[in-house]
Amino acid sequence: MNLPNKLTLLRIVLILPFLLVLYLDVPYAAYIALAIFVAASLTDMLDGKIARKYNLITDFGKFADPLADKMLVTAAMVWFVENGQMPGWALLIVIIREFAVSGLRMVASDKGRVIAAGWSGKVKTASTMVCVVLMFLPIPEVVNTLCVAVIVVTTIYSGVEYFVKNKDCLTDM
């Protein structure tokens, strides 16, 4: 297994201590969880750079890397819902978008097409990561609400954009 794939697996493994720290409510839990979240997020940037630089792109990496990102972010958002920082409907929008875009990519793949991450998807990912980091800090309620709004708006926009740009994949509906 190459280094980028090991880093992807590390990101998945880090979800367990991330959640344990939060649910066991250890002292300074939010800061420790934040440190784990940031470390896990940095493995994403690192594995991508290494994979591209040394041409170590694998089928496992194509599958597991985006899945690891979704697992990590969803774990944080579930915590925010349980903690009262995020309404459940906002998390549901994120989850529905991820399933829908993944489904669209599967349909496109069956037709021999690959749907690469679009600009709005990258903006959604970056803004979501920033907002998740902020939400682990002692921020004013208004900033927390703004973070939830940014996550929801960028999630909806990028999901709609994927379907609009690739509607021809769904022509047999």
pLDDT tens sequence across 121-149 = 889 999 999 999 999 999 999 999 999 99
Q: What percent of the chain has pLDDT over 90?
A: 76
Q: Tokens 């875009």, residue? A: 101
pTM comes to 0.92
- CA dihedral (23, 25, 30, 31) positive or negative: negative
Asked if residue 76 lies in contact with residue 133, where contact means CB atoms within 8 angstroms, the answer is no
φ, ψ of residue 140 in degrees (nearest 5): -60, 150
Confidence check: pLDDT of 36 > 70: yes
Instruction: For residues 85-112, give the mean pLDDT.
Output: 95
> Is position 22 within any domain?
yes
Q: Does the residue 158 lie in any domain? A: yes
**Mean pLDDT of the region 11-29:** 95
- 60 & 2 share domain: yes
In a domain, 79, yes or no: no
| 156 within some domain | yes
**CB-CB contact of 64 with 8 (8 Å):** yes
Residue 76 counted as domain residue: no
pLDDT value of residue 141:
98
Question: Which pLDDT band, with edges at 50, 70 and 90, does 173 fall under?
Answer: low
In this structure, are 51 and 89 located in the same domain? no
Query: Where is the domain boundary, 69, 99, 118?
Result: 69
Count how many domains the chain has.
Answer: 2
- Same structural domain, 170 and 115: yes
Both 100 and 59 in a single domain?
no
Q: Which of 65, 75, 64 is nearest to 37 (CA)?
A: 75
Is the per-residue pLDDT at 118 higher than 90? no
As given in the structure block, the two tokens for residue 26 are 């250890």
Are 155 and 93 spatial neighbours (Cβ–Cβ below 8 Å)?
yes
Share of the chain above pLDDT 70, in %: 99
Range of the domain at 57: 1-69
